Amino acid sequence: MSSLEITVSVNGNSYTETVEPRVTLVDFLRDKLALTGTHIGCEHGVCGACSVLLDGVPIRSCLMLAVQADGRAVTTVEGLTQEDGTPGLLQDAFRDAHAMQCGYCIPGMLIASEALLRENTDPTLDDIREAIGGNICRCTGYVQIIEAIQLAAERLREAGR
């Protein structure tokens, strides 16, 4: 099968790679770039485990082809850490609230939460539910995830961000 060359910015780094047109964005991130933090859950756009930011907007990377990301900017869970690789503010809040168990859905939850908090550092419960309403978690029952997002929002407000 013929391949195409694409250039994608991922977590601030530019990658130029050749890919088959049929390769999904999530497979590209995981298999070509070894960014295995983004997880595959359902491959039909329901569970949200594969969520990434595309030009700042959360999308399902299982429903998008890598070639469609040509020339665009992707943020994955790895891009939410601080520069030295330690957890960022949102990631720390998820830890502090123990907003996870198996951890498999968490990259998608973090991406959805990041998109919310970039727009709104004082979200209501309804705002939070809307932001993560498309992400399924089977471990937590969501309560500690909501608390983590509230904690992160509070810390962002305290930091004046």
Binding site for other proteins (CB under 8 A): 20, 22-23, 30, 34-44, 46-47, 49, 76-78, 81, 85-87, 91-92, 94-98, 100-107, 110, 125, 128-129, 132-146
C-alpha–C-alpha distance, residues 20 and 22, integer Å: 5
6 vs 160, beta carbon nearer other proteins: 6
Q: Which of 96, 80, 86 is nearest to 145 (CA)?
A: 96
Residue 103, both tokens? 């951890």
Residue pair 80/88 in contact (Cβ under 8 Å)? The answer is yes
15 vs 104, beta carbon nearer other proteins: 104
Q: Which of 152, 112, 108, 154 is nearest to 130 (CA)?
A: 112
* Minimal distance, residue 41 CB to other proteins, in Å: 4
48 vs 160, beta carbon nearer other proteins: 48
* Minimal distance, residue 55 CB to other proteins, in Å: 20
70 vs 127, beta carbon nearer other proteins: 127
* Minimal distance, residue 70 CB to other proteins, in Å: 20
| H or E segment to which residue 110 belongs | helix 106-119
